[in-house]
Structure 1
């Protein structure tokens, strides 16, 4: 069995650290893939351009889709096991645990966010004593979940990726879901507090309020809710499964009404 990991060269440092902990805990080295022919972010910019200037579809292809396809070909993939869940995005509402045509197993398809953290906490309670390196045993958790961002007023999600924002970053010392509301907000209580519930690329991932969906902080400033790996492939037998939901409006009157109320239109390229 092969463990595949894709480094887009734009991931959070804590994501890479967590991946190393996974390799160590399960004594399994991952097959790491990066954008073809490069190994650093500077090389990525020199070859493809800055991520903020690249078309998002092009960024997805060179940083995720192509490396992932290359990995599957090299390991001669038969069955693919994913961590995808139906509740992560509307496009996954029909995701099956087993997809025969694509030979893809989605064991957590029916898990909710609460199921995930309950499982992690159960493992932590069983193996909660720190190991010799000071880390807690159990399922490795991204250390970025320990951060809280306290501020006096809301900050638009489309701006939360920017540097030098008017908030105070605090290390809670444990994942935010193991903290009380008072611990997250601090004393005196901050009017607004954000936490990271999910991690993708740094330029499209932002912290959200604890009650918000984990996906509310993903693909920010982009007109999509899915990583390119999940929805774009160039060969039969898509690497990730899930039946896309057809949300296209069919009623002529509704189409006319929606068109009349449009305030902005965008053109999609052939990959979108």
Structure 2
């Protein structure tokens, strides 16, 4: 959480200006509208209220409250349940929540097949796909960064395949708030997530199914005939890139098949942005040092 109040969204310019009543109506000039912020106490209050609501009620609150709202998804079970819930709401077409899919170029064929099925099943939903910058295929990615980058430099892999595309998407699409598929029952760093969060850059992240278990998600998908990844029928519970995802054993945590044998539990998109800022700074310093050494030689 930033040290000052976190910006929810910018709805104008000068703070403290308005009509004589002290309120600003929708008909007022845009320049007179103040910025709206989440204070820590306001965020705490909202989480207390949202905590007791069903996912559909949380989504309804998001749609009526948060401007520039998108759903980020890798088409996992939770994201698919969220998408289906949204499709069943009485939302005017201009207010439909667009999807953002980060194609790392290393997804399973089953995942990419699911994307095509989702397009057909939910034809009214806009899908924005973002890939690593300046590459279109896994071969091009390897040519640019080297073979098996996820093993030689996993931080650079997370940055190139996921974090940079995410930041580019948020910038180009003017994203102010996102719906995620994170749940507490997934364990790891997700075990204590709130329903609504604000990251270091002021991006609002809402986890509408934070309270649900994997079983509840499964039951919803089955009851509503939601298309799902075929890998879920083969022992997978959480599906990411093919090189870092395995089926899990009975009794293991839901995300135990992700980065098995490693300490990491997140791909980078939900890690603090400062972590990657520090990494990029160290990378620049290393490149500068190598350049100086070559010049002196």
Q: Normalising TM by the smaller chain, what interval?
A: 0.5 to 0.7
1:7-33 deviation digits (Å, cap 9, x = unpaired): 111111101111222222121231101
Alignment pair present for 1:20 and 2:111: no
Question: Of the candidates 200, 205, 208, which is equivalent to residue 245 of structure 2?
Answer: 205
Question: Of the candidates 167, 175, 186, which is equivalent to residue 88 of structure 1?
Answer: 186
Q: Distance in 1 between matches of 2:158 and 2:272?
A: 9
Number of the residue aligned with 1:182:
none
Q: Distance in 2 between matches of 1:55 and 1:47?
A: 13
Could you say which structure has the higher helix fraction? Answer: 2
User: 1:221 deviation in Å?
Assistant: 3.7
User: 1:201 deviation in Å?
Assistant: 0.8
Q: 1:29 to 1:54 in 2, by over 3 A?
A: farther
Q: Distance in 1 between matches of 2:171 and 2:203?
A: 15
Normalising by the residue count of structure 2, what TM-score does the alignment of the two structures yield?
Answer: 0.55
1:107-161 deviation digits (Å, cap 9, x = unpaired): 01111111111111211xxxxxxxxxxxxxx2111012233xxxxxxxxxxxxxx
Question: Of the candidates 144, 163, 167, which is equivalent to residue 69 of structure 1?
Answer: 167
Alignment pair present for 1:219 and 2:259: yes
User: 1:92 deviation in Å?
Assistant: 1.8
Alignment pair present for 1:44 and 2:145: no
Number of the residue aligned with 1:108:
209
**Runs of at least 4 residues of structure 1 off by over 4 A?**
none
Alignment pair present for 1:6 and 2:46: no
Contact preservation (8 Å) 2:176, 2:203: no
Matches within 5 A, 1:109-188: 109-123=210-224, 138-147=225-234
User: 1:234 deviation in Å?
Assistant: 5.3
Q: Distance in 2 between matches of 1:53 and 1:225?
A: 15
Q: Distance in 2 between matches of 1:60 and 1:10?
A: 12
Secondary structure (helix, strand or coil) at the match of 2:101 reads: strand
Question: Of the candidates 126, 130, 135, which is equivalent to residue 29 of structure 1?
Answer: 126
Q: How many residues align?
A: 177
Number of the residue aligned with 2:271:
231
Q: 1:233 to 1:56 in 2, by over 3 A?
A: same
Secondary structure (helix, strand or coil) at the match of 1:114 reads: helix
Contact preservation (8 Å) 1:89, 1:226: no
User: 1:75 deviation in Å?
Assistant: 0.8
Tell me how large the CA RMSD over aligned residues is. 2.2
Residue segments in structure 1 that go unaligned for 5+ positions in a row: 124-137, 148-194, 236-268
Contact preservation (8 Å) 2:247, 2:257: yes
Contact preservation (8 Å) 1:64, 1:228: yes
